[in-house]
A and B are shown apart, each in its own frame.
Chain A
Amino acid sequence: MRHTARNITTTVLSLATLLGALLLTPFQASAAGATAVEKGKAVAVNRKKGNCLACHAMEDGTLPGNIGPPLVAMKARYPDKAKLRAQIWDATAPNPNSIMPPFGRHRLLSEEEIDQITEYVYTL
């Protein structure tokens, strides 16, 4: 019994810490520069970089194209984040005829930019 209570307390405490951390993130971010997610979004929507909106609808992005599927529920689609990164790095690996540019293989984006986009897309 005492045991259980302590467990609950621990859980509540860690939840509080987690929430606190989540709430704090934006403030910390603006203090310490953009987060990977924010950087990833900037690279994804930049027409000269990812330009993902050319083909995919993504949250509030304006005038998206409809060549690829809307990027939603990405965590459900990609339980494994590495697979998502691989899709962005070279869409022609799973589908040789893909019209999606092989961003990593053709060096359209740097490895760091692909990491950032992956972080961002994973939040969608």
Chain B
Amino acid sequence: MKELLTATLVLGLLSVFTMPAQASPEEDLAKLRAFYKNRFPNTQFSDFKNGVYSIDADLRSQWEDIEEFPPYELNLEKGKTLFETPFANGKTYASCFPDDGIGIAQLYPFFDSNSGKVITLEAAINQCRAANSEKALKWKSGPIADLSGYMHYTSRGKTINVIIPDDPRAQKIYEQGKAIFFAKRGQMNASCADCHINYAGNKVRANLLGMAIGQTTHWPSYRSKWGGMGTLHRRYTGCNKQVRFKPYKAQGPEYTALEYFHTYISNGLEGNAPGNRM
């Protein structure tokens, strides 16, 4: 009996997934993909873009039912209207983006070699507003989520392609984001990696934990919990709070670095934002 129990416990102690700081982004990506492939042999790589729905048939069918009349439909209309409505100076958002802002969201966040900074799509939206003498939008919900949701919608089906150029400044931001993903946080002492790598596929109470790859592809998302759309940084805030860690500022350097790493590891998957989530 005792031996049996000991055996269970030893099995219970997972070998912890690590990504050494010296590894290149390409090596990190390969290692993560191999890890999830091994853990979820029945999930096609391309299906990881659907988050937990790619590993649980019941949740998936509930989600597909909701997708028949997606709750974000109204937000897409609002986003499109905002996107097309001229600023006071007569210009529109299209003037700030390549390809008039259509079908380009999969390239964000990107490293801007002029400023040495990483620019998220939401940051680019507010930069565009500033350039056109408009007031900045709030970062986590409301018009910015609708605009970003619409722009991502025009990129649906395009492959996520975040580039970490061979520039020490870009590498540094990537490393910072990766370090944040693996850092134990808060009173609960848990890292993003604990929940979304080491225990992905396990349950916290009734909540199934999803994988780190394919996690950003469908953001911004509509959450029934929020009764509306929110940005990825709003979701980060929630995951930080639940371990009793004081969240960083939305669009501050930490979450921007986190998004850079976190979106990079979804490279090769299709964008499918906006999502609808519980």
Contact = CB atoms under 8 A, between A and B. Distances in A.
B12 A106 contact: no
Contacts of A67: 199, 202-204
Nearest to B17: A97
Interface in A2-18: none
A107 B199 CA distance: 24
Interface residues of B, number: 22
A39 B196 CA distance: 33
A66 B202 contact: yes
Contacts, number: 52
A101 B188 contact: yes
A50 B23 CA distance: 38
Interface centre among A53, A63, A69, A97, by most B CB within 10 Å?
A97
A33 interface: no
A54 B13 contact: no
Contact of B203 (A66, A99, A106, A107): A66
A42 interface: no
B42 interface: no
A82 interface: no
A76 B189 contact: no
A101 B2 CA distance: 26
A73 B5 contact: yes
A54 B9 contact: no
A105 to B, nearest CB: 9
A77 B199 contact: no
Interface string A80-105: 00000000000010010101011000
A76 B4 CA distance: 11
- Main secondary structure, interface of A, reads loop
A73 B12 CA distance: 16
A69 B8 CA distance: 8
Contacts of A55: 204
Contacts of B194: 97, 99
Interface in B175-205: 187-190, 194-195, 198-199, 202-205
Interface string A9-52: 00000000000000000000000000000000000000000000
Interface of B: 1-2, 5, 8-9, 12-13, 16, 187-190, 194-195, 198-199, 202-207
Query: Which are the 7 A-B pairs with shortest beta-carbon distances?
Result: A69-B12, A97-B16, A99-B194, A101-B188, A65-B203, A63-B206, A65-B204
Given A65-B203, A95-B13, 19 more contacts: A53-B205, A54-B204, A54-B205, A63-B205, A64-B205, A65-B205, A67-B203, A67-B204, A69-B8, A69-B9, A76-B5, A92-B189, A97-B194, A99-B198, A101-B190, A106-B187, A106-B188, A108-B187, A108-B188
Interface of A: 53-55, 63-69, 73, 76-77, 92, 95, 97, 99, 101-102, 106-108
